[in-house]
Chain A
Amino acid sequence: MKPLRHRLLFTYTMAVLAFLYIPIVVLVLYSFNASRINAQWSGFTFDWYISAFQNRYVMEALYNSLTIALIAMIVSTVLGTMTALALHRYKFRWKGAIHSLIYLPILIPEIVMGLSLLVLFSQLAIPLGKLTVVIAHISFCISFVVIIVLARLEGLGKDLEEAAQDLGATPWQTFRYVTFPLISPGVLAGALMAFTLSIDDFVISFFVAGPNSTTLPLYIYGMVKRGVSPEINALSTLLILFIVIVTVALVILPERFQSRVSDKKAQRQMPF
């Protein structure tokens, strides 16, 4: 009786996991399918990869995505880390209001954030383009960086910084040689988060991108809407490969260094 129930549950779990992976596997397989209509298998080919790489618009979208993500990452990491340091160390008047201002961009539906920025840019008569996309991405990345760095800061005691100051270190020296090395894993995590969020964003970019600032998700959306081209399969497969490699590296590498406690904490934060 008992083993049967357990086997059923396990089979069920595998079935749902299959449900999660089948679409992805199908997409990857079809990226190698010679047929243009792409339902029936008509031979193995790399042609779609080659034509995706030769497609000027794809390359431009990739270039846009990467530059926008890089700038958004740098600016939001610097601003976010500064903010986390200040919030951690000092008491602020309007503390509740400041925290709401930092958490709200994560909580407000993306579509609302996207269209409100569209309204702002049109009121200020700023033409939509790379600049507006970068501004929008920085706005939603800052909050994530602040929260991640703040979590790291709160995990540290004050004793090391106090010791440095007792030994005569200037505030800058304390930061440079004590605080920053201690929080750098948090800063790095925040930066990676910002980069990923920016590369992945569709909804907000959809509202604030202009004709010359198509990012990769926007381009893929356009292809999906215009009708299926096997190039998207190739492009998507490359993105999937990239994501799988990065996530596996991010999950496996820290596990070797971190203690079980912090590992557990990280899992609890995963839904965000």
Chain B
Amino acid sequence: MSRGRWLAYPALAWLFLFFLSPLLIVVFLSFMQRGTYGQVIYQFTTENYLRFFEPLYLQIFGDTLVMAFFTTVVCFLLGYPIAYQISKLTRSWQNLFLLLVMVPFWINFLIRSYAWVIILRSQGMVNTFLLDLGLIEQPLNLLYNFGAVSLGMVYAHLPFMILPIYVSLEQLDRRLLEAAYDLGATPIKTFFYVTLPQTLPGIIAGSILVFVSSLGMFVIPDIMGGAKSALIGNLIQNQFLSARDWPFGSALSMMLAFFSLILIYLYYRALQAQQGKEEKG
């Protein structure tokens, strides 16, 4: 059955045609110029990449990094204790809790973001409740600000953080914990000197998953941030669908893709480090 090699060709051809070649066209476009009416002028330029360094766009990129970083840190702070708690449970309880963490994650993220809109908008649950209690006179503006977007981002990405940390807690070398206790370390000291360093690969893996996914996000800022919040994803979407500056949009998306791939490479390395440890243990 040595002629079975052709079995791979249709899928490879498909991916070549509908994945790789579109990407190459975008790379090509990113070096072209935009005409007055939004058409593409086929003349080489590096201007689209230089434009990125204009204060306005650097600001958006900075905001995106801040948002992604903030999301990652909050996810870590919220997620680690849960992962820790789950890893302490018996096997069947662990499975139940993991399922509980995963189920919301499987629900379409549009629906989940919209659920927050119901709760937070001016005639929403929180405002109605506070008004009824007489604590406030006017509905508060809970939506369409940094807080609302970061809430949505944390909500959407929390399982990305919990699962890898859980996996590395699961593989913790219990003998080291016993050794620490035998040598008289307090639980808190043991946690910071033994548990935390050992789960670093899981933390790195989770952080990069959350960070990369936050970087390209444009729906949550769109729904929960309104027109005020522009992250790089929203900027790219805008260049393609409203401003009709495809070359600039292409350059932006290439930088996003490049940045994400570098981070994913680091994630892969962290994962390998973790697997290496697993084999030793």
Contacts and interface: CB of A to CB of B under 8 A. Distances in A.
Contact of A105 (B19, B26, B85, B212): B19
Contacts of A253: none
Contacts of B254: 112
A86 B7 contact: yes
B93 to A, nearest CB: 11
18 contacts: A12-B81, A17-B101, A20-B158, A24-B104, A26-B115, A79-B11, A82-B11, A92-B8, A109-B260, A111-B237, A115-B237, A115-B253, A120-B25, A123-B25, A203-B218, A221-B110, A268-B167, A271-B164
Nearest to A218: B110
Contacts of A138: 14, 18
A85 to B, nearest CB: 6
A146 interface: yes
A116 B14 contact: no
A142 B14 contact: yes
Contacts of B29: 119
B11 A80 contact: yes
A39 B129 CA distance: 9
B253 to A, nearest CB: 5
B19 A101 contact: yes
B108 interface: yes
Contacts of B119: 22-23, 26
A233 B117 CA distance: 12
Contacts of B219: 202-203, 221
A13 B216 contact: no
A24 B18 CA distance: 36
Interface of B: 1-2, 4-8, 10-12, 14-16, 18-23, 25-26, 29, 78, 81-82, 84-86, 95, 97-104, 106-119, 121, 123-125, 127-128, 155, 158-160, 163-164, 167, 187, 209, 212, 215-216, 218-219, 223, 233, 236-237, 240, 246, 249-250, 253-254, 256-257, 260-261, 264
A52 B255 CA distance: 42
Contacts of B249: 115
Given A111-B256, A200-B108, A247-B106, A87 B187 contact: no
A67 interface: no
Given A37-B123, A86-B5, A112-B26, A107 B115 contact: no
Nearest to A106: B264
Given A16-B78, A111-B256, A271-B164, A24 B107 contact: yes
A188 to B, nearest CB: 18
A83 B102 contact: no
A49 interface: no
B240 A115 contact: yes
Contacts of A13: 81-82, 85-86, 97
A203 to B, nearest CB: 7
Interface of A: 2, 5, 9-10, 12-13, 16-17, 19-24, 26-27, 30, 37-40, 79-80, 82-83, 85-87, 89-90, 92, 98, 101-102, 104-105, 107-113, 115-120, 123, 135-136, 138-139, 142-143, 146, 171, 174, 196, 200, 202-203, 207, 217, 220-221, 224-225, 228, 232-233, 236, 239-240, 243-244, 247-248, 251, 255, 267-268, 270-271
B155 A20 contact: yes
B112 A79 contact: no
Given A86-B5, A217-B108, A244 B103 contact: yes
Max chain A C-beta neighbours (<10 A), residue from B16, B85, B155? B85
Given A85-B4, A86-B7, A267-B98, A119 B19 contact: no
A175 B102 CA distance: 36
Contacts of A83: 7-8, 10-12
Given A221-B219, A228-B117, 13 more contacts: A9-B84, A20-B158, A22-B119, A39-B127, A85-B7, A86-B6, A90-B5, A102-B15, A111-B236, A135-B18, A239-B107, A243-B106, A271-B164
A107 B260 contact: yes
